[in-house]
A and B are shown apart, each in its own frame.
Chain A
């Protein structure tokens, strides 16, 4: 298995632009998580899905952030419009049990 796949690995954009981050979980995993990592706030859980249904989105910082999981093999995290304070590394993780498997992350820089 290739593991959790995230794209792009790096994204540089200008303030106000829309950003879409993508994640392909490990086949057979029924939970998918989106995290954000910054120096100031550490690792934060943004949202997680079970069987493609959002279960807890209490970590989504504001309405500019949205996440979807249209099927078991794909999820997106969208920021519209983006702001410089959104600059961070965004991780996707999946699991079917107690261990979460993390993707390599997307480093987002908003200028």
Chain B
């Protein structure tokens, strides 16, 4: 069975500092990996995804994530965060032949001035 682990429930960081949000998954088959972001009182929005090809994927607002098959990880990073990045971030996984997403428990990123 697939599962996703986000070990950090909350990550406080100062504005303009770098941040890494950790995500590990377990699956016996090939997977697609996703990061979704949820701003307060809103639905989830796709931040970035890994389907195949380059293991480093980037979003339009400066986030990046690297798929590491040997460590079964898909950590999210940003070199310099902004106040507006404060949100909850969810890592998710699905198998090749299914659109059913398995979500991690989420990490709340709190950016302080």
Contacts and interface: CB of A to CB of B under 8 A. Distances in A.
To the question of whether A and B form a pair in one complex, the answer is: yes
Interface string A23-34: 000000001010
Contacts, number: 45
Given A98-B49, A98-B51, A99-B49, A45 B101 contact: yes
Interface of B: 32, 34, 36, 42-46, 49, 51, 90, 94, 99-106
A95 interface: yes
A43 B106 contact: yes
Contact of A105 (B43, B45, B49, B99): B43
A100 B43 contact: no
A63 to B, nearest CB: 22
Q: Which among B100, B105, B106 has the highest number of chain A CB atoms within 10 Å?
A: B100
Contacts of B42: 104-105
Contacts of A18: none
Q: Which among A45, A56, A95, A102 has the highest number of chain B CB atoms within 10 Å?
A: A102
23 contacts: A31-B99, A33-B101, A42-B103, A42-B106, A45-B100, A45-B101, A48-B99, A56-B100, A91-B44, A93-B43, A93-B44, A95-B99, A98-B94, A98-B99, A99-B34, A100-B44, A100-B101, A101-B46, A102-B36, A102-B44, A103-B43, A104-B43, A105-B43
